[in-house]
Structure 1
């Protein structure tokens, strides 16, 4: 049976991980620019799904869809795709391919037009390589204990953090000169995500040879995890001169409603620690949140100004994502002064991202089928 992977740039890391998982079960994914026999696999997010929906529906082959959007909207996607992998794919996708090849019903964790039975497993990272022939970033942690209202991560991967072992990380990191990681919070490695174990982070960093990039895309950190002790680990072991973390709002009232689990003061402290230690802070913000007042939006603008005095801000306009608590909310308009200030900062090279076009935000991220 020929198994094809539809080339979609935003899913490159999913391709690396799932190609390795399928290879372990004897299935080799062939990268293609169109659906081909016998099976074609798609990994989709909530922006690009609309670009491939008609292609999948009209494909003259068996189609499998997975990723953040199909996982959250599996009933809808099952109307045009033959199979939908819901959630993690390392175990489910090879099991589905075997079922197709042998003419059996799909395993749990796969939705079809006929129905859906949830998966009965959780992926152990050490049981599946982060990549094989197709290289990708090394995923060191999966899951997040926080429940940010706009975020799909805890809904896809759960709130219990699972970590790849240091030996396995070092094994795959040895194939890189520049080592980068996928994680919801790099400083949370080896911990429950709330109570940090920086001793374990140091053990990880000490085990690696090469230029280590830690706490920067695609493995950012959270602002409350930034301390002198955690920054010292970057300075002692890593090559990056930037630290990337999310503020999201300059209003504590909004942060509470988002269930972010940190305060504005945590963000300010993190920015100041970066500045004092010669690191450039790169800070994410979301504007147009549905329940922010004019004063809340102005507070965010003030925090953006503060950040850009020492570093850079990455700005996005709120988009409700399926499967999240804010999925049915609508973004509020930006104040004219917000658009004016953000435009001026962008012209000065102080901010990046997009507060007008969602696609810029999502087309720089990767998904996990």
Structure 2
């Protein structure tokens, strides 16, 4: 397993240094998952949504700045220092369902300094009016959907001292009947993101075992697509991209764009790339074009990369020749979301794969020389039985024999905007009242602020057919058996 350490060390910018940088038109703040120190892991990927907004607004003529308070593990007082020193003309934040109180603290700091606040991201998109009216009444506007074009409209309005209607932009006086999403900014038209300008420590170093040898990797994360073409019931992406409202759900740039990002990453000093997209490559043609591009860039045998795809694509669409080309292009790990080894559960969650396809995918990938194959699983879906979880455990052990090298297993947790959340609202609503990780509430809700971040569900909570404690024990048992502890 790859253990990462930071390659670069950049001093945190202190307020006295920020003052000399000039006043930005907007400061984009990546909200921390928590202000509890020691909980946020090192080396998480950068906030690519904000990076896209930053380069789009700069291309348009505005001056953006980005403060990654999450990866930087900043405290409220440190964020306040930045606001005081930088004096941005506006601030954009991106709360999710789990860090609303942290975002509210930042919002209060902005209000104290008289800085207009723009709200975007998951929380704003799933329920813009609750976000605007209840959780962040001090906010100037909320963006529903992608923010690259919406931010340009809002910054124009701030500059001109007006509030004009625009798709996906919701001011405080917006009609509550609206459901429109922000206009899409074509990915091919976005400027390339130079992470050396926007990201502290973009290069992560570590050693990984590849074909029996320890290889030193200097890795950078890339995110090239938007959305997802599938409709898994536990995932909020369909709601975030407006599937039910008729919007296109998946965007992918052309291969020249992806290769240009790859070339820039190498120029920054990386010899490895982690494509963090759910689906960076969706058919064999994409694999072939990427491999051809790597060869034309003269990066063969110099570049390593990893990414995710679907078991059905590997099993049904890729020939052995296609997969051999994949290995030759430097791919050292392919990960797949499998979720369950029970066919009934796979159908229920609309995964669109079968256990047969998963077996085929793992076997084919290892046979052509992909050094590592990883799979993600979830246990404890609503009404899932202990027997079905046991089926998944046995399936995982079978896949290990076929060549699966790594797994991650998560205990199911419902999130707003997903089909599973809606299902529980209808069938088991009291369960949703006991989810400590979902913390809404007004900015003065002291009770919510004092609730500790709990990585586990309450022991006696029954989302599945058995209590949460039993699900968690099955997760631990399976991990220990797979890794031989």
Query: Given the two structures, how large is their TM-score scaled by the length of structure 1?
Result: 0.81
Q: 1:10 to 1:291 in 2, by over 3 A?
A: farther
Alignment of 1:165-180 (within 5 A): 165-177=254-266, 178-180=272-274
Which residue number corresponds to residue 159 of structure 2?
A: 101
Give the gaps of 5 or more residues in structure 2. 1-22, 32-43, 70-78, 203-220, 267-271, 425-430, 432-462
Task: Report the 3-state secondary structure (helix = DSSP H, G, I; strand = E; otherwise coil) of the residue aligned with 2:58.
Answer: helix
The equivalent position to 2:223 in structure 1, one of 128, 133, 139, is 139
Q: Deviations over 1:193-248 (max 9, x none)?
A: xxx3x2243123311334555552xxx1111111434422321212x322100101
Aligned-pair RMSD on alpha carbons? 2.8
Task: Report the 3-state secondary structure (helix = DSSP H, G, I; strand = E; otherwise coil) of the residue aligned with 1:53.
Answer: helix
Give how far 1:172 is off: 2.6
Moved more, 300-309 or 254-263: 300-309
Which residue number corresponds to residue 100 of structure 2?
A: 49
Give how far 1:168 is off: 2.3
Which residue number corresponds to residue 295 of structure 1?
A: 387
Task: Report the 3-state secondary structure (helix = DSSP H, G, I; strand = E; otherwise coil) of the residue aligned with 2:51.
Answer: helix
Alignment of 1:86-235 (within 5 A): 86-106=144-164, 107-115=166-174, 117=178, 118-119=180-181, 121-132=183-194, 133-134=197-198, 137-157=221-241, 158=243, 159-177=248-266, 178-188=272-282, 196=283, 198-208=284-294, 209=297, 210=299, 211-216=302-307, 220-227=308-315, 228-235=320-327
Which residue number corresponds to residue 360 of structure 1?
A: none
Which residue number corresponds to residue 67 of structure 1?
A: 121
Task: Report the 3-state secondary structure (helix = DSSP H, G, I; strand = E; otherwise coil) of the residue aligned with 2:378.
Answer: strand
Task: Report the 3-state secondary structure (helix = DSSP H, G, I; strand = E; otherwise coil) of the residue aligned with 2:119.
Answer: strand
Task: Report the 3-state secondary structure (helix = DSSP H, G, I; strand = E; otherwise coil) of the residue aligned with 2:363.
Answer: helix
Which residue number corresponds to residue 476 of structure 2?
A: 343
Give how far 1:335 is off: 7.4
The equivalent position to 1:318 in structure 2, one of 412, 427, 450, is 412
Q: Note if contact 2:288-2:326 (Cα within 8 Å) is conserved in structure 1.
A: no
Give how far 1:308 is off: 4.0
Q: Note if contact 2:343-2:355 (Cα within 8 Å) is conserved in structure 1.
A: yes
The equivalent position to 2:58 in structure 1, one of 15, 23, 26, is 23
Q: 1:59 to 1:311 in 2, by over 3 A?
A: same
Q: 1:143 to 1:175 in 2, by over 3 A?
A: same
Which one has a bigger Cα radius of gyration?
A: 2
Q: Note if contact 1:64-1:82 (Cα within 8 Å) is conserved in structure 2.
A: yes
Q: 1:138 to 1:338 in 2, by over 3 A?
A: closer
Give the gaps of 5 or more residues in structure 1. 189-195, 352-369
Give how far 1:24 is off: 0.7
**Separation (CA, whole Å) in 1 of partners of 2:310 and 2:467:** 26
Q: Note if contact 1:139-1:164 (Cα within 8 Å) is conserved in structure 2.
A: no
Q: Note if contact 1:21-1:128 (Cα within 8 Å) is conserved in structure 2.
A: yes
Query: Given the two structures, how large is their TM-score scaled by the length of structure 2?
Result: 0.63
What is the total number of aligned residue pairs between the two structures? 339
Q: Deviations over 1:128-181 (max 9, x none)?
A: 135144267443332322211111223323554322122222223211123343
Q: 1:180 to 1:41 in 2, by over 3 A?
A: same
The equivalent position to 1:77 in structure 2, one of 131, 138, 142, is 131
Give how far 1:256 is off: 0.9
